[in-house]
């Protein structure tokens, strides 16, 4: 039986751009899917198709058992959406925005007020609640928009980059709220550019790039594929980058990557802190002075490097053409030091 969110062969083109190029998804009820990908990967397009805002060129989608293309109005009744760009009414106060959403969902006026007050509190907006939304900072708007998506708890929620622009404290708070929602039975599709976030929240992760799913699995499976943790070393002297790379390659479980402008070498490892001590000893024995060394978890870029052999491409702001993250001293994989 298909899950609460199901998609098969979704294709959506905009002129020459294949924003979705055959995407399949299947999210079991009561779980979280993290749709992870760089700018322009197709995340928002997928969310728009699944939430009935955009018709795909081909493919099929079913949400909460309802065919998205055949019965979009019925789908709208069972989903909640928090879009990438906050959709709040600037001329209403935060409280009024939330009350209005409650009333749209046919809560009684008293219930809508109570729910608005509760959400303002949870999103740290109580003090600002009676100011018009146009006086809000970006992060406050974002939180108001998220609160609006949670006025009623629909069985299926879509959140497009919910934590972008939130400070660490508010991000943590939102993670908690999302976890509670899911504990209450909601199915959640969440898009993000941060592996760490998908890691915290998602049962399953789909990595998308150029409209295609290039990897899927649990966070542990993805990390195993990308070689687990990384040792990252910043050498004091740029001339030592080559030797440091050689040393790290000896400890690594995959290709090294070098960023010459930050004098940083990174390599996937297994073995944790004990290995770190060995790396330090070896670097010291070779007379390499280091400014910083540490173990860190893989990032989206690491996933990309290990899956595709290159760093995630970011879309150029100006003309929409994809452009690799490069420039002087760009990241290169497999031991090449970029000049």
Query: CB of residue 101 vs ligand ATP: minimum separation in angstroms?
Result: 24
Tokens linked to 62 = 């079913």
Interacting residues toward ligand ATP by CB under 6 A: 14, 17, 19, 37, 39-45, 84, 193, 320
Q: Report the C-alpha gap between 27 and 108 in whole angstroms.
A: 33
Find which of ligand ATP, Mg ion, none residue 227 binds, CB within 5 to 8 Å per kind: none
**Separation of alpha carbons 245 and 209, rounded Å:** 29
Q: Are 154 and 96 in contact (CB under 8 A)?
A: no
Q: How far is the CB of 43 from ligand ATP (least distance, A)?
A: 3
159 three-class SS: strand
Q: Which is nearer to ligand ATP, 85 or 91 (CB)?
A: 85
Q: How far is the CB of 141 from Mg ion (least distance, A)?
A: 17
Sign, CA torsion 195/198/199/204? negative
Q: Which does 254 bind (CB under 5 to 8 A by kind): Mg ion, ligand ATP, none?
A: none
| Of residues 49 and 201, the one with the C-beta less far from ligand ATP | 49
Residue 186 or 193 with smaller CB distance to ligand ATP? 193
Query: Is residue 164 a contact point for Mg ion (CB under 5 A)?
Result: no
DSSP-derived pairing of the beta strands 204-209 and 212-217: antiparallel
* DSSP letter assigned to residue 123: T
- List binders of Mg ion among 16-55 (CB under 5 A): 43-44
Owner of token pair 């009024």: 96
Closest CA to 203 of 228, 221, 177: 221
Size of the site for Mg ion (CB under 5 A): 3
CB 128 → Mg ion: shortest distance, Å?
A: 26
- What is the contact surface with Mg ion in residues (CB under 5 A)? 43-44, 84
């Amino acid at each position: 039986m298909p899950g609460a969110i199901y998609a098969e062969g979704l294709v959506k083109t905009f002129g020459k751009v294949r924003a979705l190029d055959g995407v399949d998804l299947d999210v079991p009820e009561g779980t979280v899917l993290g749709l992870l990908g760089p700018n322009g990967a197709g995340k928002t397009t997928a969310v728009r198709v699944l939430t009935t805002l955009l018709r795909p060129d081909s493919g099929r989608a079913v949400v909460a058992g309802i065919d998205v293309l055949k019965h979009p109005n019925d789908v709208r009744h069972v989903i909640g959406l928090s879009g990438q760009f906050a959709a709040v009414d600037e001329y209403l106060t935060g409280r009024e925005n939330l009350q209005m959403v409650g009333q749209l969902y046919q809560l009684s006026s008293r219930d809508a007020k109570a729910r608005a007050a509760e959400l303002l509190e949870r999103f740290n907006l109580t003090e600002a609640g009676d100011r018009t939304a146009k006086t809000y900072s970006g992060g406050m708007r974002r939180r108001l928009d998220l609160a609006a998506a949670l006025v009623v708890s629909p069985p299926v929620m879509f959140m497009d980059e919910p934590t972008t622009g939130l400070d660490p404290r508010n991000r943590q708070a939102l993670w908690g709220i999302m976890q509670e929602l899911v504990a209450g039975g909601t199915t959640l599709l969440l898009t993000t550019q941060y592996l760490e976030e998908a890691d915290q929240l998602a049962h399953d992760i789909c990595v998308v790039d150029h409209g295609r799913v290039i990897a899927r699995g649990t966070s542990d499976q993805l990390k195993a594929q990308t070689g687990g943790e990384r040792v990252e070393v910043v050498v004091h002297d740029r001339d030592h980058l080559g030797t440091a790379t050689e040393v790290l390659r000896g400890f690594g479980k995959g290709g090294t990557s070098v960023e010459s402008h930050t004098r940083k070498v990174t390599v996937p490892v297994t073995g944790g802190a004990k290995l770190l001590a060995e790396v330090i000893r070896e670097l010291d024995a070779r007379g390499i002075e280091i400014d910083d060394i540490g173990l860190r978890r893989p990032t989206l870029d690491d996933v990309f490097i290990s899956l595709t052999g290159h760093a995630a491409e970011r879309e150029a702001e100006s003309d929409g053409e994809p452009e690799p993250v490069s420039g002087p001293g760009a990241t290169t994989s497999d031991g090449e030091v970029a000049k």
